[in-house]
């Protein structure tokens, strides 16, 4: 008994410690604290709990719109209702209709903070636990633990959800569940969860091009018969989920016009190109170009839509192309189907998905309409997933850490306004130390490391300047604008990098030209035979799916020899290689 | 990578010497060779940096947390020492929080007030009472974190040159991350980390054989905060016997004079200026206000809490059965009122300060005699702990925060063997739990529980491997089971103290809504009237009594272990003379 050591306590301890950090951040102020009459995001969320428990469903999307009218999809509304019911049961004054506006008692704040923590534990935590076991399934326990730590303490998400106050972890958790189920081959469950993600917060649309094209590519990969079947099933499950989510707003529960209330609230095209200072293409280029002076609003909408589409196109094309390239022959597919083969479940191009997600969401962040600085959380998820499994010396690690830190830096004006300065320092310190990142120590100087040094130096100098010198009265926004000018290039480069990686991974998966992808290694199948029952991800799903996989595949393609690839995979005993070699 | 390396390192280090019991065989370890005088940042290992960075970021997050009035106390002292000449420091009454720490602490505040005046002059404005702008909070909280590095440095040095570095590493880490410091210093607001740092430096010097330095450091500490007088008897006996007298009992005149002169010099530096101004009586009247009651508002979990609780039960019994016993009517109302004032028992005979003094001293004689006979480092450490322990248990008007005076020196003994570890475990759980009522706001309450749980889990799992002993007898097993049940009892107690106020409120919801009365706050407690009063106090009383049981039991255990020292194997520190 006494031999049981610390090791088994690492994961529970990490989870408990993350709760500690979250409640620690929660002690600080939140968005709009003490700023009547409108307050901020905290009040918006609280107000939705208030209005959903007191008003009939028909009025949810129409009630007193100027004061934080509900503008998130129905799942948020339902969750708000549930939280409101519980809160009002504990203390009715927290959610009294009208009179509770701007309530700032200690109890109500603690309750609101708790709802975020509880929802995070219910959705995001299981999602990352499952991620570590599926996507990192072939890696050592240690790598899985590190992946978990990386995701648990991701500073940007902690600061926005538990400091600023939002429920992004729920949306991201659902999206991550979708990815996990794609990795285990349960595409229908994956689609269901992605619809939940969309139904919680429309921002999940940033992922839609990548996820949609992945599923389409999967249908193509499976060949005409099985592919079509999957396509129909996906279509049904997606529409049914959407229907269920919107059911109370549809006939017979509501007149047909009822559906327009939520829709117009969720997609507000009437607002401007960008609101605050956001580190995206429009805001950064606006410093020189002054878009509004020479382009009409409708032109800008078209322009931004076009650019966004152009931006995520590489990811989409990459996935679809791989789908075609690896398409199973009819015979192989039916054979696999008869044996319930792994090949049906695991698309070989799955490693492309995180890069495609990054390309797509970053393109939305950079080029689309009405972007908030907080939306950087969406591109951060895929790159943090990639980072979480990467070796500390790899370029993925450097990029992941750089983007995460820059993202937190890009939100500095917001965090400063919220009074979260000390939390900003603390979470950055904590996370970088936890993942073992120190850009100032690493001796090799690749492009990304030099870039990191430059960005961090600029950031630090900017912070010092802001602390010491007040902005000149002619340019009151000088520091936010400088912040945008430092951050945007990093995001643009990350977007380009994700496209480059996508191409490399696609190439490593079997060349870019029309190939003979349908010829499958025998060994892979043989291995999967023994891998029935639970706990088998490490042997089967995990192998083809592991995030380290693409990395090693990529280098294998460049190194040109299987030798090189056997070195990659790094610290793990269970490397990815046997199946990898065959595909070359 | 990062934290995982730290853990692996700890595990590896531990496994390398897990069966290492004989103190004479000191394995050549890297820690030994690292024992060279250099600025301590230079000799820190990766794992130690990890701990420092991670704990500091948690402490940073606590900046906006709840602050007790102690925050304003210290801000006021910054203002007093900065704006007034030294002659007025102990006379000023602008704020109700007058300066009542010894002069070194006042000098310390004077030093801290200099940067404060540059950062925000309003911090050191004497008339700016209850100033709590962000700059003041950030500055004062930062000074706590930075001065706590004294503790960190002492703990690092404890690892270097230790008899058993892996165990000492765990003990050092557990002390640096102690929930007591987190709750009392970083949330409630005090400078205990800094001052316990000085205490540990002093103990460290004693371990390394430099008893003169140890004595000087302790004299300095006394002039920072006089509560450390609790330890003075042990220091006095130890230094007199092992430094001023030779083993055969002859006076070492040189040693005696150097120690006496050094200690006198420390006191001259501290009190000299005030002696010259003729303010010594004034200073002492501030330091020792004998106008307070036996118990603090919230009973510290000591012997008197048990006595007071017994008195309450007797009173219940008397009033129920109508037994003809003289009941002191003023005592009926007094005990649970929660006011700083005189505690009067209803049934039991009343206690005067002199009684507590006699009891404390009477206990102390027992182990001081033992220390005199056996003046080794470990004997000193145990006697020191027992001195702090007995003062905490039997002292007059002891504050619950004083439990740190027990827990900190006791931690140093935790790795000796299973009996010490078990004593440490019970005392730590009870002691830390007894600090919980200091924080009553909901956010901080969650935090203190989560943090303490994490801390005890890791300390327990790490230490248990080091000190495991196979049960030797049936009585051992029975005792072990009872203690486990006691420890498990903290879970229901925690649930009760957290949910009872809400239940009461729900139960009495017909009354007017009391704003945020989920709080079981000692400061607010005088507000409610009538029947709800005892109800409000029930969780506090239970906490204090339950913790007192554990702490008293730990005390008895430690006495027993100490007095039976030679009979069995005692642990590795026994090898140090």
Token pair, residue A74, equals 């129905």
- Closest partner CB to B516 (pick from A107, A419, A434): A107
pLDDT at B333: 55
- Which CA distances in Å does B103 have to A260, A328, A356? 73, 85, 66
Tell me the residues of A at the B interface, defined by beta carbons under 8 Å apart.
2-7, 9-10, 13, 16-17, 19-21, 23-29, 93, 105-107, 109-110, 113, 142, 145-146, 149, 392, 419, 422-423, 425-427, 429-430, 433-436
For A262-267, which contacts have Cβ atoms below 8 Å and span 24 or more sequence positions? Answer: A262/A60, A262/A61, A262/A73, A262/A74, A265/A61, A265/A65, A265/A69, A265/A70, A265/A71, A266/A71, A266/A72, A266/A73, A266/A202, A267/A202
B139 in any annotated domain: no
pLDDT at A174: 96
Q: Shortest Cα distance from B309 to chain A (angstroms)?
A: 32
One-character DSSP codes across B156-205: HHHHTT-SSHHHHHHHHHHHHT-HHHIIIIIIII--HHHHHHHHHHHHHH
C-alpha A112 chain-centroid distance = 23
> With contact defined as beta carbons under 8 Å apart, do B55 and B173 qualify?
no
Q: How far apart are CA B216 and CA B222, in angstroms?
A: 10
Token pair, residue B99, equals 């300066």
ipTM for the predicted complex comes to 0.85
Q: Shortest Cα distance from A412 to chain B (angstroms)?
A: 16
Angle between helices B531-563 and B353-373 (to 10 degrees): 20
Contact assignment for A6 to B462 by CB distance below 8 Å:
yes
Q: Does B313 touch chain A (CB under 8 A)?
A: no
Q: Give chain A positions within 8 Å (CB) of B451.
A: 20
Token pair, residue A487, equals 């951050």
Q: Sort B505 into a burial class: Cβ within 10 Å, 0-12 / 13-18 / 19+.
A: middle
Q: Shortest Cα distance from B276 to chain A (angstroms)?
A: 45
One-character DSSP codes across B22-35: -TT-----HHHHT-
pLDDT in tens, B112-132: 999 999 999 999 888 888 888
- Closest partner CB to A27 (pick from B5, B49, B65): B65
pLDDT at B297: 64
Report residue B172: phi and psi, to 5°. -60, -45
Q: How many domains does chain B divide into?
A: 1
Q: How far apart are CA B152 and CA B155, in angstroms?
A: 5
- Cβ-proximal residues to A69 (8 Å cutoff; 6+ apart), any chain: A61, A62, A63, A265
pLDDT at A143: 86
Q: Does B461 touch chain A (CB under 8 A)?
A: yes
- Which CA distances in Å does B491 have to B450, B453, B494, B496? 13, 11, 5, 9
Token pair, residue B33, equals 């060779």
Q: Which residue in the block uniquely carries the two structure tokens 């704040």?
A: A109
Q: Give chain A positions within 8 Å (CB) of B60.
A: 422-423, 425-426, 429
> With contact defined as beta carbons under 8 Å apart, do A113 and A162 qualify?
yes
- Closest partner CB to B461 (pick from A9, A142, A426): A9
pLDDT at B528: 42
B415 in any annotated domain: yes
pLDDT at B555: 94
Q: Shortest Cα distance from B226 to chain A (angstroms)?
A: 33
Nearest CA in chain B to A108: B516
pLDDT at A180: 94
Q: What torsion do the CA atoms of A147, A152, A154, A159 make, to the nearest 10 degrees?
A: 180
User: Closest by alpha carbon to A219, among A239, A204, A233?
Assistant: A233
> With contact defined as beta carbons under 8 Å apart, do B213 and B243 qualify?
no
Q: Give chain B positions within 8 Å (CB) of A572.
A: none
Mutate: best of B60, B462, B469, B505, partner A, most A CBs <10 A: B60
Q: Give chain B positions within 8 Å (CB) of A141.
A: none
Token pair, residue B375, equals 């003046």
C-alpha A391 chain-centroid distance = 21
- Closest partner CB to B516 (pick from A106, A435, A436): A106
Mutate: best of B46, B446, B469, partner A, most A CBs <10 A: B446
Q: Does B63 touch chain A (CB under 8 A)?
A: yes
Question: pLDDT in tens for each of the 577 residues of chain B?
Answer: 445 555 444 444 434 333 333 444 444 444 433 444 445 556 788 888 889 999 999 999 999 999 999 999 999 999 999 999 998 899 888 888 888 899 999 999 999 999 999 999 999 888 888 888 999 999 999 999 999 999 999 999 999 888 888 889 999 999 999 999 999 999 999 999 999 999 999 999 999 989 999 999 999 999 999 999 999 999 999 999 989 888 888 888 899 999 999 999 999 999 999 999 988 888 888 888 766 666 666 778 888 888 888 888 887 787 777 666 666 666 555 544 444 445 667 677 777 778 888 999 898 998 899 899 888 898 899 999 999 999 999 988 788 899 999 999 999 999 888 889 999 999 999 999 999 998 888 889 999 999 999 999 999 998 888 887 777 788 888 998 999 999 999 999 999 988 887 777 777 664 444 444 444 434 334 444 444 555 667 888 889 999 999 999 999 999 998 888 655 555 667 666 6
In angstroms and rounded to an integer, the radius of gyration of the C-alpha atoms of chain A is 24
First to last CA, chain A: 49
Q: Give chain B positions within 8 Å (CB) of A19.
A: 450
Token pair, residue A216, equals 């389409």
Q: How many residues does chain B have?
A: 577
Contact assignment for A146 to B4 by CB distance below 8 Å:
yes
Contact assignment for A26 to B443 by CB distance below 8 Å:
yes
Q: Which residue in the block uniquely carries the two structure tokens 């069966």?
A: B19
E-strand ranges in A99-204 read none
- Closest partner CB to A436 (pick from B2, B446, B465): B2
> With contact defined as beta carbons under 8 Å apart, do B420 and B571 qualify?
yes
Q: Give chain B positions within 8 Å (CB) of A110.
A: 442-443, 446
Contact assignment for A149 to B3 by CB distance below 8 Å:
yes
> Would you tell me how many other CB atoms lie within 10 Å of the CB of residue A563?
10
Q: Give chain A positions within 8 Å (CB) of B450.
A: 16, 19-20, 23
Nearest CA in chain A to B517: A107
Contact assignment for B443 to A435 by CB distance below 8 Å:
no
Q: Does B5 touch chain A (CB under 8 A)?
A: yes
- CB burial string A173-205: b at 16+ within 10 A, e below: bbbbbbbbbbbbbebebbbbbbbbbbbbbbbbb
Q: Shortest Cα distance from A578 to chain B (angstroms)?
A: 27
Q: How far apart are CA B155 and CA B45, in angstroms?
A: 13
> Would you tell me how many other CB atoms lie within 10 Å of the CB of residue B569?
12
Q: Shortest Cα distance from A538 to chain B (angstroms)?
A: 22
B265 in any annotated domain: no
> With contact defined as beta carbons under 8 Å apart, do A353 and A179 qualify?
yes
Contact assignment for A24 to B62 by CB distance below 8 Å:
yes
> With contact defined as beta carbons under 8 Å apart, do B497 and B543 qualify?
yes
Q: Shortest Cα distance from B514 to chain A (angstroms)?
A: 11
Domain that holds residue B511: 404-575
Q: How many CB pairs under 8 A join A and B?
A: 121
Q: Give chain B positions within 8 Å (CB) of A107.
A: 442, 516, 518
Report residue A226: phi and psi, to 5°. -70, -30
Q: Which residue in the block uniquely carries the two structure tokens 């063997």?
A: B417
Low-confidence residues of chain A, pLDDT below 70? 1-5, 268-276, 442-444, 511-584
- Closest partner CB to B64 (pick from A19, A21, A29): A29
> Would you tell me how many other CB atoms lie within 10 Å of the CB of residue A74?
22
Q: How far apart are CA B202 and CA B195, in angstroms?
A: 11
Q: Does B1 touch chain A (CB under 8 A)?
A: yes
A579: three-class secondary structure by DSSP: helix
Q: Shortest Cα distance from B190 to chain A (angstroms)?
A: 19
Token pair, residue A409, equals 């830096």
Q: How far apart are CA B367 and CA B384, in angstroms?
A: 9
pLDDT at A569: 34
Contact assignment for B2 to A433 by CB distance below 8 Å:
yes
Contact assignment for B443 to A434 by CB distance below 8 Å:
no
Nearest CA in chain B to A393: B1
Nearest CA in chain A to B465: A2
Which alpha helices (DSSP H) does B84-148 contain, by range?
A: 103-119, 134-147
B194 in any annotated domain: no
Q: How far apart are CA A492 and CA A324, in angstroms?
A: 29
Q: Does B442 touch chain A (CB under 8 A)?
A: yes
């Amino acid at each position: 008994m006494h031999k049981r050591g610390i090791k088994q306590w690492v994961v529970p301890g990490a989870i408990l410690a993350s709760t500690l950090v979250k409640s620690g951040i929660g002690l600080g102020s939140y968005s709009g604290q003490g700023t009547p009459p409108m307050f901020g995001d905290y009040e918006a969320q609280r107000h939705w709990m208030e209005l959903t428990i007191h008003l009939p469903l028909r009025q949810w999307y129409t009630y007193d719109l100027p004061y934080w009218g509900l503008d998130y999809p129905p799942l948020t509304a339902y969750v708000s209702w549930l939280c409101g019911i519980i809160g009002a049961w504990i203390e009715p004054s927290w959610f009294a209709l009208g009179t509770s506006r701007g309530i700032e008692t200690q109890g109500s704040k603690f309750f609101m903070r708790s709802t975020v923590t509880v929802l995070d534990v219910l959705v995001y935590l299981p999602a990352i636990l499952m991620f570590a076991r599926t996507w990192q399934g072939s890696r050592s326990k240690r790598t899985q633990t590190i992946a978990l730590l990386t995701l648990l303490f991701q500073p940007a998400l902690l600061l926005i959800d538990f400091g600023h106050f939002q429920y992004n972890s729920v949306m991201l958790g659902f999206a991550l569940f979708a990815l996990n189920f794609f990795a285990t081959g349960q595409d229908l469950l994956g689609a269901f969860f992605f619809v939940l993600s969309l139904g919680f917060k429309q921002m999940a649309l940033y992922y839609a091009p990548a996820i949609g094209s992945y599923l389409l590519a999967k249908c193509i990969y499976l060949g005409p018969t099985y592919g079509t079947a999957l396509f129909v099933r996906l279509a049904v499950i997606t529409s049914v989920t959407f229907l269920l989510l919107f059911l109370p707003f549809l006939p017979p529960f509501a007149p047909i016009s009822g559906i327009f209330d939520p829709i117009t609230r969720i997609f507000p095209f009437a607002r401007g190109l960008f609101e605050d200072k956001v580190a995206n293409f429009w805001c950064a280029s606006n410093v020189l170009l002054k878009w509004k002076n020479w382009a009409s609003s409708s032109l800008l909408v078209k322009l931004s839509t076009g650019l966004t589409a152009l931006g995520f196109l590489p990811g989409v094309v990459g996935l679809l192309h791989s789908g075609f390239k690896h398409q199973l022959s009819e015979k192989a597919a039916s054979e696999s189907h008869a044996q319930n083969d792994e090949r049906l479940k695991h698309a070989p191009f799955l490693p492309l998905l995180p890069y495609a997600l990054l390309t797509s969401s970053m393109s939305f962040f950079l080029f689309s309409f009405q972007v908030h600085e907080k939306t950087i959380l969406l591109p951060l998820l895929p790159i943090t997933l990639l980072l979480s499994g990467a070796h500390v010396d790899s370029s993925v690690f450097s990029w992941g850490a750089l983007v995460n830190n820059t993202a937190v830096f890009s939100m500095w004006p917001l965090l400063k306004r919220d009074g979260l300065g000390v939390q900003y320092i603390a979470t950055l310190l904590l996370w970088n130390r936890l993942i073992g990142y120190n850009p100032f120590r690493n001796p090799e100087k690749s492009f990304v490391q030099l870039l990191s040094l430059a960005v961090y130096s600029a950031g630090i100098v900017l912070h010092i300047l802001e602390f010491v010198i007040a902005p000149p009265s002619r340019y009151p926004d000088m520091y936010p604008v400088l912040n945008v000018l430092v951050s945007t290039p990093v995001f643009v480069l990350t977007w380009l990098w994700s496209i480059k990686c996508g191409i490399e991974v696609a190439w490593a998966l079997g060349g870019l030209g029309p190939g003979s992808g349908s010829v499958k290694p025998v060994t892979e199948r043989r291995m999967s035979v023994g891998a029935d029952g639970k706990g088998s991800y490490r042997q089967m799903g995990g192998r083809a799916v592991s995030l380290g996989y693409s990395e090693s595949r990529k280098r294998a393609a460049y190194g040109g020899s299987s030798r090189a690839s056997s070195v990659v995979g790094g610290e793990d005993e269970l490397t990815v290689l046997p199946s990898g070699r065959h595909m070359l | 990578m990062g934290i995982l390396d730290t853990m692996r390192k700890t595990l590896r280090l531990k496994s390398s010497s897990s069966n290492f019991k004989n103190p004479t065989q000191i394995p050549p370890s890297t820690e030994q060779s690292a024992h060279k005088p250099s600025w301590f940042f230079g000799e820190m290992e990766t794992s130690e940096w990890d701990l420092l960075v991670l704990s500091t970021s948690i402490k940073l997050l606590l900046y906006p947390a709840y602050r007790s009035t102690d925050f304003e106390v210290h801000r006021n002292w910054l203002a007093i020492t900065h704006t007034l000449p030294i002659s007025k420091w102990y006379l000023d009454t602008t704020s109700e929080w007058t300066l009542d720490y010894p002069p070194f602490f006042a000098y310390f505040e004077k030093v801290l007030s200099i940067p404060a005046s540059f950062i925000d002059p309003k911090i050191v404005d004497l008339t700016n009472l209850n100033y709590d702008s962000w700059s003041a909070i950030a500055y004062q909280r930062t000074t706590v974190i930075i001065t706590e590095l004294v503790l960190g440095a002492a703990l690092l040095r404890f690892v270097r040159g230790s008899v058993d570095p892996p165990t000492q590493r765990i003990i050092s880490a557990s002390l640096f991350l102690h929930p007591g410091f987190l709750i009392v210093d970083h949330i409630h607001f005090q400078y205990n980390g800094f001052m316990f740092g000085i205490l540990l430096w002093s103990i460290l010097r004693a371990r390394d054989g430099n008893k003169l330095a140890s004595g000087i450091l302790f004299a300095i500490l006394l002039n920072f905060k006089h509560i450390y007088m609790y330890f003075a008897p042990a220091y006095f006996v130890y230094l007199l016997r092992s430094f001023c007298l030779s083993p055969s009992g002859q006076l070492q005149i040189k040693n005696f004079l150097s120690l006496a002169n050094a200690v006198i010099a420390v006191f001259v530096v501290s009190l000299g200026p005030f002696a010259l101004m003729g303010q010594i009586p004034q200073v002492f009247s501030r330091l020792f206000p004998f106008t307070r009651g036996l118990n603090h508002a919230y009973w510290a979990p000591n012997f008197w809490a048990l006595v007071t609780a017994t008195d309450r039960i007797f009173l219940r019994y008397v009033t129920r059965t109508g037994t003809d016993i003289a009941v002191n009517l003023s005592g009926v109302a007094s005990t649970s009122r929660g006011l700083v004032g005189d505690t009067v028992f209803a049934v039991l005979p009343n206690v005067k300060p002199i009684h507590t003094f006699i009891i404390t001293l009477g206990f102390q004689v027992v182990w001081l005699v033992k220390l005199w006979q056996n003046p080794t480092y470990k004997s000193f450490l145990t006697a020191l702990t027992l001195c702090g322990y007995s003062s905490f248990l039997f002292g007059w008007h002891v504050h619950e925060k004083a439990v740190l005076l027990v827990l900190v020196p006791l931690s140093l003994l935790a790795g000796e063997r299973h009996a010490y570890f078990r004593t440490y475990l019970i005392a730590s759980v009870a002691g830390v739990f007894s600090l919980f009522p200091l924080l009553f706001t909901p956010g901080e309450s969650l935090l203190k529980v989560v943090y303490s749980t994490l801390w005890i889990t890791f300390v327990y799992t790490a230490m248990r491997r080091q000190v495991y002993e196979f049960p030797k007898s049936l009585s051992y097993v029975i005792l072990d089971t009872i203690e486990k049940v006691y420890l498990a009892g903290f879970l229901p107690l925690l649930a009760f103290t957290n949910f009872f106020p809400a239940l009461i409120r729900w139960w009495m919801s017909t009354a007017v809504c009391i704003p945020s009365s989920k709080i079981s706050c000692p400061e607010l407690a005088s507000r409610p009237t009538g029947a709800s009063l005892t109800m409000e106090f029930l969780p506090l009383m239970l906490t204090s009594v339950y913790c007192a049981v554990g702490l008293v039991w730990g005390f008895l255990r430690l006495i027993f272990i100490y007095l039976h020292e030679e009979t069995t194997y005692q642990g590795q520190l026994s090898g140090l003379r």
